[in-house]
Structure 1
Amino acid sequence: MQTHHVDHDLIQAAANVARSRCRGDNHTMAAAGRARDGRIVTAVNAYHFTGGPCAELVLIGAAAAQGVYDLDTVVAVGDRERGVVPPCGRCRQVLLDYFPTLNVIVGENDRVRTVAITDLLPDSYVWADHQLDAK
C-alpha cells in the first residue's frame, strides 16, 4: 500500500463543516473533496432510517452540482470531534466507480495517511458501463 501526501487543508475543511453544520442525528458526518483543479467541495450525510446517503455519496452530487467531475482526494470527518472516519464498503465501491484514481485520507490522529481507493477495495468489481458513459 503506497501512501501519498496528506492534504491537511482538506481534513480541516471537512472538520469545519462537521463542527458547524452537523446537527443532531440527521447530519453526523462531513466530507470534503479536492478537485484536480484545486477547488474544495464539502457535504454532509443525510441520515434516514431507510438508508440515507453517507457524506461521501452526497459529496459526489454536490461536486457535480458545482461542475466538479474529477475529484483527486476525499476525506470524511465525524461530528463531535471524532476525526477522520474511513468510508464504508458501499462508499468505497461508489467512489472507485466514479473516480478510479481517487486518493482517500484515512487513519486516526497523528497517523492519518492518504491511500489509493484501490488499496481500500482490492480486487474489486469495476462498473465498466459507468466508465464508458463517463468518457
Structure 2
Amino acid sequence: RSTSTILKKLGVEVAYLGPGSLVPRNGPEGIRRFTDYKEAMAWSPDFVYLLRVQMERQDVQYFPSVREYHRLYGITEARLADIRNRGLYIMHPGPVNRGVELCDAVMDYERSLINDQVENGIAVRMAVLYWLKPGGVVG
C-alpha cells in the first residue's frame, strides 16, 4: 500500500488487480479495484506493477492454489503477449516468484523494468536510511 499511497500523492491513477482476499479495502481513496484481468486492461494502464505473493506470511489460504493464482492474476505467456502488444512496462520490486506472479519470459521482456527496479531499490533504501540516521539530513 505504501507504493500506491505515494503514487496517488504524485497524481498517478492507480488500480489493483487480484483476488478480493488480497486487494486492500482501506487503501487511498480513488483506487480502482479489479478481480478480472480483461477488465483491468480495459482501463488502459501504462504500467503493470506486480507484487510478490508472500506465501511465508500467510497463515490463511487467500486463494485456492498457486497454479490458480497464476492462471487468474499472474502474467502468463498469453498475458505477456497482450502486454507486449499494448506496449506496457512491467515493474516488480523483487524478489520474484516465477510461476506465481509472472512467467519466466517476463524477465526477458524488453519493457520489463524489474532488474533496474531491484538494483536501484537497494541504493534508494540506503539513501533513505542515511537521510534518517542521527547526524544525517533529518537527524
TM superposition score category, shorter chain reference: 0.3 to 0.5
TM-score with structure 1 length normalisation?
0.32
Higher strand fraction (1 or 2): 1
* Greater Rg over alpha carbons, structure: 2
TM-score normalised by the chain length of structure 2: 0.32
Higher relative contact order (CA 8 A, sep 6+): 1
